[in-house]
A and B are shown apart, each in its own frame.
Chain A
Amino acid sequence: MKEIIPELKIEHIKRLAAGGNRADGRSLGQFREMSIERDVIGTAEGSARVKLGKTDILVGVKIELGAPYPNHPDEGMLKTTLELRQIAHHSFDPGQMKNRAIELSRVVDRGVRESRMIDMKKLCIEPGKKVWMVYLDIQVLDYDGNLFDAATIGSIATLTGARVPASAFGLGEDFPLPLSEMPISTTFVKIDGHIMLDPTATEEAVADARLTVTMDSQGNLRAMQKGLSGAFYYEEITTAIENSIKTGNSIREIIRSG
C-alpha cells in the first residue's frame, strides 16, 4: 500500500525550506549524524553497520573463488546486491520494491567500479580460470531516507576492512582487499525549488527530484544518478557537486577514523 503523506506535512516542509530550514533542525546542505561499526558479522569477510539518522543499514562482503568473465579473463569480479525487505518499512513490498532495490545496488556498484576502488587485476589467481569474486550484499534494517548514501558509505566501510580468505582455499595467507580510491556518494533532493542534502524519508516522499553524486578523493566525478519525475537546472547540479566535495571529505574522515 502506498503511504499518504498528509498535505499539512508537505506544506510544513515547503514552508521551512523557503526559510532555509528543515523539520529536524538541519540546514539545507547539512548531512545527518552518522555512526559506523565495523566487523559485526563473523561469517562475512568484511562488514559494517551504518546508522545515518534513523536509517540503519548492514553491509557484508563475501569473497569466494570463481571463474572470470571471458572478456576480462585476468580480473576479479564484483557483484553488488541490495535487498529492501519489509522489516525496514511496512510499505517495502518485495514485488513493488524490486526496481528500486536494483537501482540502488547499481548506483552503489557504479561508484565502487568506476572509481577503480578495487584493483581487480590483483584478484586474479589464474587468468581465464580462477579469480576472487567479491559479493557485496546490502541489507536495509530501518528506513528513514537516503539509502543511496547509507548503502555507499556502508559498502566503502565494509570493503576497506575486508580480507581475502586465501588461507581457507590453500592459496597462501589472507590479505586485505587491494584498494586505492574511496568513492563517496552524496544525495540531494529538490523540494519546491530548494535543494537539500541527505533527505529523510518524509523529505524523499515530498521531493520532486533526486540527484546522487559520487566522487573520488581527488574531487573527480565517478557516478551520478538523477531520479524522480522532477528536474534540475545546470546551476543546481554544479552547486550539488561543490557540496559533494566537502561532504565527501568529511565522510571519508569518519570512515578512516572508524
Chain B
Amino acid sequence: MEDIKLIDDEGKRKDGRAPDDLRDIRIKAGVLQNADGSAYIEWGKNKIMVGVYGPREVFPKHLQRPDRAIVQVNYSMSAFSVDQRKKPGQGRRENEISKIISEALEKIIISNQFPRTSIDVFIEVLEASAGTRCAGLTAASVALADAGIPIIDLVPSCAAGKIDGQIVLDLDKIEDNIGEADLPVGYVPKTGEVVLLQMDGHFTPEEFEKAFGMAKEACLHIHKLQREALIARYPLEAGDENDGENADGNVDDNRGASQ
C-alpha cells in the first residue's frame, strides 16, 4: 500500500486535482413531492438525496420540548451505494453520523418558534465515495431552507486531509482509504461558528491550522453553490403579481359563495 503515490511530481492528485481543488459539486433543491423540503447533491461520485419533514408535533409526548423543536436526523446508506453490498439496517457508523449532523443542524435552526415539534431530516446516501457526511450536511441545510424552516444560515461542509504528507482538500475514496488524516468541517459563514468537526489520523498543530483554513475556504465556495441551488428553485421576476399580498381580505367575499 505504501507504494501508491497519491500526488505526482507535478503536484497533481490521482484524479488530476490540485491540492486545494474540490471535486465537482452539483446541488438541486426541491426534488421530492411528499417531503416538505428536499435537495439532491452530487459531489464527485457521491450521490445523496435529502428529504425534510416538519416541523410537526412530536409523539410520543415525552420527546416534546416545551420551548423548542427537536431535530432528528437519519443518515442511511443504500445497500448498493458501496462496492461491497451493505446489509440493510442502521449500523453504528450511520448512528454516529446521524447524531453529529443532527447536532450541527440544531445550532442553525431557529427552533424556539416551534415548541413541541420535531424537524425530521432523512439523508439517503445512494452512492458513496468518501465525504458523504459533508455532502449530506451541505444538502440538508438546502433542504431545510426549501422546507421554509427558519435558519440562521446555510451550513456548507467540507473535509481537508493529509496525503503523501501534504495537506489537501476534499479527499476522494482512495485518498481517504490510504491517506494520513481527514478533517471534516461544517462551518456557518454568517457567524463563523464550527458546527461539525471530526478528525482522524495524524496532524501537527500547524498542519491542522492549514487543513482547517483550507476546509473553511472551500465552505465559503460551497455556500455559494447552496445559494445558487435555492435561487434556481425559486425563480422570480420583477413585477410578479400577488406574492406579497396578504390573504386577509378574501374571507367574507368567499364565504358568501358557500351559503
Contacts and interface: CB of A to CB of B under 8 A. Distances in A.
A, B from the same assembly = yes
A60 to B, nearest CB: 3
B120 A62 contact: no
Given A42-B127, A43-B82, A86 B88 contact: no
B26 to A, nearest CB: 14
B80 A62 contact: yes
Interface in A123-164: 135, 137, 139, 141-144
B80 A64 contact: no
B240 to A, nearest CB: 26
Interface centre among A1, A44, A56 (most CB of B within 10 A): A44
A139 B32 CA distance: 14
Nearest to B78: A139
Interface stretch (A14-22, A87-95, A183-191, A224-232): A87-95
A47 interface: yes
A44 B80 contact: yes
B166 interface: no
B79 interface: yes
Contacts of B204: none
Contact of A87 (B84, B122, B127): B122
Interface string B70-84: 000010101111111
Interface in A55-96: 56, 58, 60-62, 64, 81, 83, 85-90
Nearest to B56: A90
A143 B45 CA distance: 26
Nearest to A49: B126
B32 A141 contact: yes
B59 interface: yes
A47 B84 CA distance: 15
Contacts of A41: 47, 78, 80-81, 126-127
Interface in B44-65: 45, 47, 49-51, 53, 56, 59
Contacts of A135: 79-80, 85
A61 B59 contact: no
A41 B64 CA distance: 39
B32 A56 contact: yes
A127 to B, nearest CB: 24
Contacts of B79: 60, 62, 81, 135, 137
A66 to B, nearest CB: 11
Nearest to A201: B34
Interface residues of A, number: 29
B27 interface: no
A32 interface: no
Interface in B71-113: 74, 76, 78-85, 88
Contacts of A81: 79, 88
A43 B32 contact: no
Nearest to A165: B83
Interface in B105-145: 120, 122, 124, 126-129
Given A85-B76, A89-B34, A142-B33, A43 B53 contact: no
Contacts of A139: 78, 124, 126
Interface centre among B34, B49, B78 (most CB of A within 10 A): B34
Contact of B127 (A43, A54, A88): A43
B34 A43 contact: no
B34 A47 contact: no
Given A42-B45, A64-B85, A86 B120 contact: yes
A142 B49 CA distance: 11
Contacts of A61: 80
B79 to A, nearest CB: 4
B194 interface: no
B126 A87 contact: no
B195 interface: no
Contacts of A40: 47
Contacts of B47: 40-41
Contact of A88 (B34, B85, B120): B34
B33 A54 contact: yes
12 contacts: A43-B80, A43-B82, A44-B127, A47-B80, A54-B33, A60-B79, A61-B80, A81-B88, A86-B122, A139-B124, A142-B33, A142-B34
Given A40-B47, A41-B80, A61-B80, 13 more contacts: A42-B45, A62-B79, A81-B79, A85-B76, A86-B74, A87-B35, A88-B34, A135-B79, A135-B85, A139-B78, A141-B49, A142-B33, A142-B35
